[in-house]
Amino acid sequence: MTSQANKEVVIAGGGIGGLAAAVACAQRGVPVQLLERAAQLSEVGAGIQIGPNVTRILQAWGLGAALAQVAAFPEQLQARDAQTGQVLGTLTLGSRAQARYGAPYATIHRADLQGLLHRAAQSAGVDLRLGQSVQGWQGSEAALQVNTAQGLSLQASALIGADGVWSAVRQKLLGDAPARFTGHLAYRALVAQADLPTHLRSDQVTVWMGPRLHVVHYPVRSGQWLNLVAIVHGAKPEQSQDWDQAGQTQALMQAMGAVGRDLHERLASVPAWRQWALHDRAPVSAPGQMAQGRVALLGDAAHPMRPYLAQGAGMAIEDAQVLAQCLSAGSVPVTQQLQAYAEQRWARNARVQSRAIRNGRIFHATGPVALGRNLSMRLMGERVMDVPWLYGDGPISGNQ
């Protein structure tokens, strides 16, 4: 089976990064063919946080109203000690984020974000083909021939690997080692707020920090549900590439150890957890790790990161915005467009990856380091917890 496309951009992967890239490119007049290996688009239930650097882009794509219908917009982020329950610091979000950064801080169910991006891609005329996984490609001066394992052959101007942390496109392009296990296990859960006692319901982001662990919870789905993630240290599971394994409450409680009464009560209120092993890569060290020739990488395929800065999806959406800007840059050759994309993105992604690793050490600190963390948060509060270099910068700056 062969399809002759007019040198479209082929995007491998229909997750958040791939859909975002498809939307951004199509809105700028760049024809897109989106390939997804799954037979249908589906996303397991989990929440994500998206800061003003990300919501600003979604608004620029005309998705602000759709976002407002499904997201929650917390008024504050609160840090607490996992053992004592004491409030360590508070960062005001809500109107402050809007005023300072020109866009809100939002929390959203991952499936809701994927859904609104999917609808936007359809509205923009993106050609989405399900059940197609990229197997390889051959290049020429004029174009690429992209081949799928299912027998599809596409003539493309470029191939974008947005196929996640276990990216097949990355493996063929760079041939490097698989993503590394971080030594951290994440347990996640979604609970209807109506099913919780009143004092356990929440309209804010709360981070509990303790020795070798932390817990974060926040509202999603217009505040009707509460998303919880507990991260502990542990051994690599046998099926480490399956992020949605069944996790047991008993195993989580044992790994958490002696936490305070407030946190213990909240964890015990969750009827079921799912577990996955966290993987990442060393921070990007050169633009060549994000683009070579007519092939580029985006999102987790390029820079999988630990979730301790809540920017995995955010960096993929920023990538998408810059990619579309570069690919719509007039008569510049595609290879130069992709090189420009990589040069604009690699250092920022590397900074976020590095900061996420650092945050993990701070969140999970023990002994004197934990005491110093708690003291600095009490004394400086918002100055420690805010991230102006992140929220106020990016493809669409807060000053625009």
Annotated catalytic residues are 218
Query: Contact 35/21 with Cβ under 8 angstroms?
Result: no
Distance CA 66, CA 384 (A): 32
Task: Tell me if 143 sits within 8 A of 7, measured CB to CB.
Answer: yes
Q: Which two tokens stand for residue 361?
A: 């050490």
Judged by phi (left if over 0) then psi (alpha if -120 to 50, else beta), residue 7 lies in left
Which tokens in the block code for residue 311? 């920017």
SS3 188: strand
Unique residue bearing structure tokens 């791939």: 18
Work out whether the CA dihedral 205, 108, 65, 196 comes out positive or negative: negative
| Biggest CA-to-CA distance, the chain | 65
Bridge-based pairing state of the strands 76-81 and 205-210: parallel
Q: Are the beta carbons of 127 and 33 closer than 8 angstroms?
A: yes
Cβ neighbour number for residue 398 with a 10 Å cutoff = 16
